Chains A and B, each alone.
Chain A
Amino acid sequence: SQQGEEDPQALSIQEGENATMNCSYKTSINNLQWYRQNSGRGLVHLILIRSNEREKHSGRLRVTLDTSKKSSSLLITASRAADTASYFCATVPGANSKLTFGKGITLSVRP
């Protein structure tokens, strides 16, 4: 069963613009992670935010977490054509627990 629900399902932007993707989940979490997937291949870990954190940055990525609303957002600034991929949020309920993924967001960045 899916835990996270990403929004929007698809996003198309121009190179240089910012991309914002949202994720909502249903149950309590230990941490929330964002992954990228290119062309149906393996997933690449982007960033992890713990349940007691509200915001985290990594390069051009900024992730926020609102546990009261059970939601997270991923912001990619100054997007590049190479950012074109599917993005998934995944929740982790406890230490060393499984990842529960949403259905993903397809991001297209036009050159």
Chain B
Amino acid sequence: ETGVTQSPTHLIKTRGQQVTLRCSSQSGHNTVSWYQQALGQGPQFIFQYYREEENGRGNFPPRFSGLQFPNYSSELNVNALELDDSALYLCASSLAGREYGYTFGSGTRLTVV
């Protein structure tokens, strides 16, 4: 059984650029959620995908978008990057209908300069 894998681990982008982050969910999980964690803060919920549809969204602007693929892997896309987008982006997978802890990836550290 594999865990959650995120790529890349680190990324540096320039303000205004676009970025795509990737996540492979844990085997057997069908739900993927994304979180943004600024330095010294707790993770903030961005959105969640289930069966390739977004089924929950936090307080993030539309330039944050995502996809979930038939194999339950997922992408997070951020357009028009801003300096405040610099953060650790975490992906978590879970199995809908089962009440247990989420499995998190190691995250992607995004720096916007």
Interface residues of B (CB under 8 A from A): 4, 31, 33, 35, 37, 39-45, 48, 50, 55-56, 58-59, 88, 90, 92, 94, 96-97, 99-107, 109
Contact = CB atoms under 8 A, between A and B. Distances in A.
Given A42-B106, A43-B104, A44-B104, A100 B99 contact: no
Contacts of A61: none
Interface residues of A, number: 28
19 contacts: A33-B101, A40-B37, A41-B106, A41-B107, A42-B4, A42-B104, A43-B90, A45-B101, A45-B102, A88-B42, A97-B56, A98-B45, A98-B56, A99-B33, A101-B35, A101-B42, A103-B40, A103-B42, A104-B42
B102 A99 contact: yes
B107 A42 contact: yes
Interface of A: 1-2, 4, 30-31, 33, 35, 40-48, 50, 88, 95-104
Nearest to A102: B42
A31 B99 contact: yes
A42 B105 contact: yes
